[in-house]
A and B are shown apart, each in its own frame.
Chain A
Amino acid sequence: GAGVSQSPSNKVTEKGKDVELRCDPISGHTALYWYRQSLGQGLEFLIYFQGNSAPDKSGLPSDRFSAERTGGSVSTLTIQRTQQEDSAVYLCASSRAGGGSEKLFFGSGTQLSVL
């Protein structure tokens, strides 16, 4: 695809429900990141995938959050038993390779609202 694709663009759910957010990175990009963007706050790192390496899950805020990346491509972020404080924009980014000098390509995000 031309860019990083995220779906859905908007998700409204009830407190306690589970949600799945999808990210389709740019073809050939080996690194994939999930960030959370809350009002008035910067981007909060959640998780990082690089090739076949074990993911860096150090940013996941609780065990209600999990993510997987199948076949080194599409990634799904799952939030179980959603809480109101989970309401935010969830951003996915990919890069050609891992490492701190790489340019990140971001999707448009999923706006999650937990009622």
Chain B
Amino acid sequence: AQSVTQLGSHVSVSEGALVLLRCNYSSSVPPYLFWYVQYPNQGLQLLLKYTSAATLVKGINGFEAEFKKSETSFHLTKPSAHMSDAAEYFCAVSKNTGNQFYFGTGTSLTVIP
């Protein structure tokens, strides 16, 4: 069975500060890992994905995530938060076989001016 845990349902950071959103997964086989972002009144958009190439994955809008197998983690970071980063962020995991994507419960990011 696969599952995703996102620690912290709400995270607040000051504008210009580091953003760190945590994601841990459980998977019996090497997974694919994703971060999606949902802006208000919009659908989810892919930020980045890990598919067993480089462990440090760069995505859109300055975000990146590092796959750490030993820690079963895939935390999302951005060096300097912008007001426009305020959104809901979802971590997801899947296998290369099958068709199911397992999503975490989401982390709401607030950026304080």
Contacts and interface: CB of A to CB of B under 8 A. Distances in A.
B4 to A, nearest CB: 7
B100 interface: yes
A72 interface: no
Main secondary structure of the interface of A (DSSP, over half): loop
B82 interface: no
Contacts of A35: 103
Nearest to A111: B41
Interface residues of B, number: 28
Contacts of A106: 36, 43-45
A42 B90 contact: yes
Given A42-B4, A91-B43, A104 B101 contact: yes
Contacts of A107: 43
B98 A42 contact: no
Contact of A48 (B32, B41, B51, B100): B100
Interface of A: 3-4, 31, 33, 35, 40-43, 45, 48, 50, 56, 59, 91, 93, 98-101, 103-109
Interface of B: 4, 9, 31-32, 36, 41-46, 49, 51, 90, 92, 94-106
23 contacts: A3-B43, A33-B99, A35-B103, A40-B9, A42-B4, A42-B90, A42-B105, A43-B103, A45-B100, A59-B100, A93-B44, A98-B99, A100-B31, A100-B94, A100-B95, A100-B98, A100-B101, A103-B46, A104-B44, A104-B101, A105-B43, A108-B43, A109-B43
